[in-house]
């Protein structure tokens, strides 16, 4: 039986959610998933349907989510073991007022010093997880996400700050998580902070990391 995935896209259009949804739909179908794509958060309201999924893929930067929309997602992941996976602001800058969403996903965007066009290196933590096996360190020219992250995340890749100067610079050099996994109850959670625009999502090795992350997180 095919695994079932739900992609829900919308929110701030600057992150090209429709284009990213199309890329993710293609990748998931290539890997044998039955995929439903929705452009409304009301797709989350159907709790029995969500409980029957294998994977939820949110692509929704900013915006607001009601309890009636969010609670079935929390229950499906926490109690039903449904996986959740996503990237960039579409998952970890989704609903800034909903702290339970941040608790589930393991992080929240707070800044991107230098904005789009910043060139930085993504450093793979060797041996950390099959998701990044065989992938070498690589450079990206995009937004470098400065995030507040859960210390319990299993970090698979990092990037070093500062690259662009800012109020964080006096704190010295430090590594910021870029890719991580975690659990929320019974459900697996995967996140990749890359993906400001669809071209970054589709670039390699970002797309391979996303593909492997989807398959790892899926119930």
Cα 141 to Cα 120, 146, 209, distances in angstroms: 6, 15, 17
Dist. CA 109–CA 92, nearest whole Å? 6
The verdict on pTM exceeding 0.95 is yes
Determine contact, residues 35/61, Cβ cutoff 8 Å. Answer: no
Half-sphere exposure of 20 (CA within 13 A, CB side): 33
pLDDT at 57: 99
pLDDT at 209: 98
CA 132 to chain centre: 15
Determine contact, residues 60/36, Cβ cutoff 8 Å. Answer: no
Domain ranges of the chain: 4-217
143-175 CB burial, b ≥16 within 10 A, e <16: bbbbbebbeebbbbbbbebbebeeebeeeeeee
Dist. CA 207–CA 197, nearest whole Å? 12
Mean pLDDT, 10 residues at a time, over the chain (219 residues)? 96 97 98 98 98 98 97 98 98 97 98 96 97 98 97 98 95 97 98 97 98 98
Determine contact, residues 87/131, Cβ cutoff 8 Å. Answer: no
Which CATH number describes the domain made up of 4-217? 3.40.50.880
pLDDT at 1: 81
Determine contact, residues 77/84, Cβ cutoff 8 Å. Answer: yes
With 0-12 / 13-18 / 19 or more C-beta atoms within 10 angstroms meaning exposed / middle / buried, residue 52 is middle
């Amino acid at each position: 039986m095919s695994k079932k995935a739900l992609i829900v896209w919308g929110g701030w259009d600057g992150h090209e959610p429709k284009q990213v949804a199309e890329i993710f739909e293609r990748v998931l179908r290539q890997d044998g998933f039955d995929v439903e794509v929705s452009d409304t958060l009301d797709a989350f309201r159907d709790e029995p349907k969500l409980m029957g999924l294998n994977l939820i893929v949110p692509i929704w930067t900013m915006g607001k989510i009601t309890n009636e929309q969010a609670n079935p997602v929390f229950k499906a992941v926490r109690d039903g073991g449904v996986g959740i996976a996503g990237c960039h602001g579409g998952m970890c800058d989704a609903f800034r007022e909903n702290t339970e969403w941040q608790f589930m996903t393991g992080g929240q965007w707070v800044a991107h010093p230098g904005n789009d066009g910043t060139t930085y290196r993504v450093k793979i933590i060797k041996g950390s997880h099959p998701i990044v096996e065989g992938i070498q360190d690589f450079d990206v020219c995009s937004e470098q996400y400065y995030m507040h992250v859960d210390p319990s995340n299993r970090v698979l890749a990092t990037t070093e700050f500062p690259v662009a100067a800012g109020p964080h610079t006096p704190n010295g050099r430090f590594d910021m998580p870029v890719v991580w996994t975690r659990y929320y109850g019974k459900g697996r959670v995967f996140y990749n902070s890359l993906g400001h625009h669809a071209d970054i999502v589709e670039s390699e090795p970002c797309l391979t990391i996303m593909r492997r992350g989807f398959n790892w997180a899926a119930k």
